[in-house]
Amino acid sequence: MRSFYIKGTDKRYSIREDGNVIRHYRYNCKGIRVYKDEFCKKTKRKGSSIVSVTIYNPEGIGRRKVVNELMVEYFDLKLPDDCHSYFFDYKDGDCYNNGLTNIYYRIFTRKEYKYDPQCYYVDGDLVEKRCGTCGDKKVIKNFTVYPKSNTCSNECNTCRSKDQYAKIKSDKLRYSKSKKRTLKWNASDTGKKWRSEYFKMQREFMSNWYINGIIRHRGENPDHYTEEMKEIVRTQILMHREIEKQKEKG
């Protein structure tokens, strides 16, 4: 088991990879060192999960040291990325178990999410993330990055838009103003151009939005369709497009 002597203690204390701090010797009443490995007692701050131990320097002055901070310092526990705020959490829920196999970095969130936002990396680069609202794993471009604070949102842009729209719709005055602005923008040249390009893109890639529109055009509810049934609709559309191409050639 790996362990490191804690600096500034004259090799009196060491930290092990299981999260325990060991005292290797103490002084008796005559000031003579008595060598005996003993576990340092861990104490928790009131109202928190922060666990610390008391460590004495060679002058006999004791100071509290947070165990997780010692683990970071001596076992090089680097933050996964700089786009989130992190805190230490425990896989088994026991804050006294500070071992490397139990502690992990968890994304700090200002509100409770249905799912725990989780990041996925390839060669050290952040490429995907799980949305805290819908729980889907999506490419990182589907999340908002805030340049000023260099942080990344914990829910995907789709869920954020739905949440914002629900808040607007719950307020009659805000909803009325929003609807007027939307109609005015749709009637403008910029709005018409954007909608035309957006529809072409959705049609080309056959997104869920486009498929749901096709199903509604048939007079049916897309919520009653499973993913397998929607995939069949995609296949039907591709076959229809291929038939039209062959007719044009013939």
Find the mean pLDDT for residues 2-12: 91
* Range ranked top by mean pLDDT from 26-30, 154-158, 204-208: 154-158
Give the tokens for residue 151.
């942080």
Give the tokens for residue 134.
């819908």
Global pTM reads 0.60
Angle at 86 between CA 81 and CA 90, to 5 degrees: 120
* Dihedral angle, C-alpha 222, 226, 232, 233, nearest 10 °: 10
% of the chain beyond a pLDDT of 90: 45
**What are the tens digits of pLDDT across the range 81-96?**
887 888 889 999 899 9
- pLDDT tops 70 at residue 149: no
**What are the tens digits of pLDDT across the range 37-81?**
999 999 988 777 889 999 988 888 888 999 999 999 999 888 888
Count CA atoms closer than 13 A to 191's CA, side-chain side. Answer: 8
Ranking 27-31, 46-50, 135-139, 224-228 by mean pLDDT, the lowest is 46-50
Other Cβ atoms within 10 Å of 6 Cβ, number: 21
Alpha-carbon distances of 207 from 168, 192, 204, 217, 244, rounded to whole Å = 26, 20, 8, 15, 21
Find the mean pLDDT for residues 245-250: 81
pLDDT of residue 152: 83
Q: How far is CA 58 from the centre of its chain?
A: 43
